[in-house]
Structure 1
Amino acid sequence: MTIPTLTPYSLPSEWAVNKVQWPVDPARAVLLIHDMQDYFCDFWGEDSPFVAALVERLAAVRERCKALGIPVVYTAQPGQQANAERALLNDMWGPGITQYPARQGIVAGLAPAADDTVLVKWRYSAFQRSPLEHLLRELGRDQLIIGGIYGHIGCLMTACDAFMRDIQPFLLADGIADFSQADHQMALNYIATRCGRVIECREMLGLGHAAGLRLTREALQARLLAMLDEIDEPFDPDENLLDYGLDSIQVMSLLSEWREQGLELSFTDLAKTPTLNGWWAQIQQHGGAA
């Protein structure tokens, strides 16, 4: 009835193709560090390298967000909860954190700063019985970047809830942890295809760094057309570029050129959505768009 003992696993490296290509906008976004409390991390064991690596990635994302002026919000369950407050959570998970109130703090390495907001967490979704939506509206922000634990429970439900409130959710693929690789994979696939956009921590770390490159969509299309064989039909920005004749050597040449100008993209980034529109979304997300 309680959370099971958890074991480390290899993080998923692939997931379903994102149905939306929203770019993260520092002026619209808020970072949510979800339930990174000692109690929930304890299920991987004391001094878990798996948890330590997650904390390190989230701490780096948090620092980048602060540098970009993105507010940081935490959720944390209280160590003292009456049975009526836990309600159905008692049936599903037992008394939970109330048995270990001393473990309600945020894990070392991710402790909230004085200017961060910590919300009391009562249910799977961070929006339930909380002022999170009001806070976002008050700040004039409508994007929510989500990292923490557990992926297929609170992180997934928060992303769904955000979507239904017209707030764009972004799930950090390697900034969450879960009961198992299968649960983690399910959360990524669901969000990518139903209610949000899945991104990697390194994409957040690269946000705003590509100051040397300022592409336009028209310039990107012109460059691609120059690299392609003669096309007998109208160019389709949603057509696979490989089907048009673009090869991996040409892709690597483009990536090398962009890196020299400060735009950090990988072959994997481009291979996920090998279309003009897909590549343009990646360039926008990494700050390389004019």
Structure 2
Amino acid sequence: MALPAVAPYPLPAPDELPVNRVSWTADPRRAVLLVHDLQHHFLGAFPAGEQPLTGMLANTARLMAAARAAGVPVVHSAQKGGQTPEERGLQLDFWGPGAPDDPEKLSAPASVAPAPGDVLLRKWKYSAFVRTELAGLMSGWGRDELIVTGVYAHIGVLMSAADAWQRDIRAHVVADAVADFSREDHDMALRWAAGRCAAVTTTDALLGALTEKD
């Protein structure tokens, strides 16, 4: 039930992305950037200093900087350490007790850590919407687009994008700013998202959208 050790793999290139069913383009006036579960506990599954970890973190950091500059809210999801069996629920059966109550394991790398003005959500389930304030925050901000980065692509990233779709929130999954257990899982998540619930895009494409002037 422990997290698997991830073998290095290259992030997908733009010409390797699935074909989207929708032609959505992110709008900085409507978007929120979700930095999903980038805690050391989860990132420890990846080989340090290698892809996909290095590229995913670098691209997420670029998007965070652009979002802040454009006035796009940045929301970080993070799981609580030392959860009780009641708090853990069915995740206990699939993944064991989860992250320990260790500040280092629960923190994010400096390059993608929350900054003043960002929002930090305590997350409980795969989707970042379940038992959190995310939907209410987005409604209060008058925003209906969610840009999703982080880990793991075929679990929380995909479930958050699918949950967004069910709330009529347009999701944009950033293919080279997410990472997964394997390239196979990564590609599967992108195919499912592109065909069922989201627009799959790249960091560079989103940077162009976020920095575009009226």
Q: TM-score range by the shorter chain?
A: over 0.9
Which residue of 88, 91, 95 corresponds with 1:89?
Answer: 91
Q: What are the equivalent positions in structure 2 for 1:37-48 lying under 5 Å apart?
A: 37-45=39-47, 47-48=48-49
Q: Residue 61 of structure 1 corresponds to which residue in structure 2? A: 63
Write the distance in 2 (CA, Å) between the matches of 1:96 and 1:80.
Answer: 7
The structure 2 residue matched to 1:167, chosen from 151, 166, 169, is: 169
Q: Secondary structure at the match of 1:59?
A: helix
Structure 1 residue aligned with 2:149, among 141, 144, 147? 147
* Match of residue 8 from structure 1: 8
Cα offset, 1:145, TM superposition? 0.1
How far apart, CA to CA, are the structure 2 residues paired with 1:100 and 1:180? 27
- On the 8 A contact 2:26/2:210 being kept in 1, the answer is no
Q: CA RMSD in A?
A: 1.5
Instruction: Pick the structure with greater CA Rg.
Output: 1
Conservation of the 8 A alpha-carbon contact between 2:80 and 2:101:
no
What does 1:107-146 correspond to in 2, within 5 Å? Answer: 107-146=109-148
The answer as to whether partners of 1:39 and 1:100 remain within 8 angstroms in 2 is no
Relative to structure 1, is the Cα distance of residues 108 and 208 closer, same or farther in structure 2, using a 3 angstrom cutoff? closer
Per the normalisation by structure 2, the TM-score is: 0.94
Secondary structure in structure 2 of the residue aligned to 1:44: coil
Asked whether the 8 Å contact 2:147–2:174 carries over to 1, the reply is yes
Q: Deviations over 1:7-27 (max 9, x none)?
A: 111222323211111121110
Q: Deviations along 1:195-247, whole A, 9 cap, x unmatched?
A: 01001000122225566xxxxxxxxxxxxxxxxxxxxxxxxxxxxxxxxxxxx
- Unaligned runs of 5+ residues in structure 1 are 212-286
Greater fraction of residues in strand = 2
Change (3 A) 1:92 1:99: farther
1:64/1:204 contact within 8 Å kept? no
TM-score, normalised by the number of residues in structure 1: 0.70
User: Identity, % of aligned pairs?
Assistant: 43
Counterpart contact for 1:159–1:195, Cα < 8 Å: yes
Pick the aligned partner of 2:20 from 10, 18, 23.
Answer: 18
Q: How many matched pairs?
A: 211
List alignment gaps of at least 5 residues for structure 2. none
**Separation of aligned partners in 2, 1:16 and 1:38:** 30
Q: In structure 1, give the amino acid aligned to 2:184.
A: A
The AA in structure 2 aligned to 1:48 is: G
Runs of 4+ in 1 over 6 A off after TM superposition: none
- Shifted more, 10-19 versus 81-90: the winner is 10-19
**In structure 2, distance between residues paired with 1:11 and 1:186:** 13
Higher relative contact order (CA 8 A, sep 6+): 2
SS at match of 1:109: helix
Contact 2:40-2:105 at 8 Å conserved across structures = yes
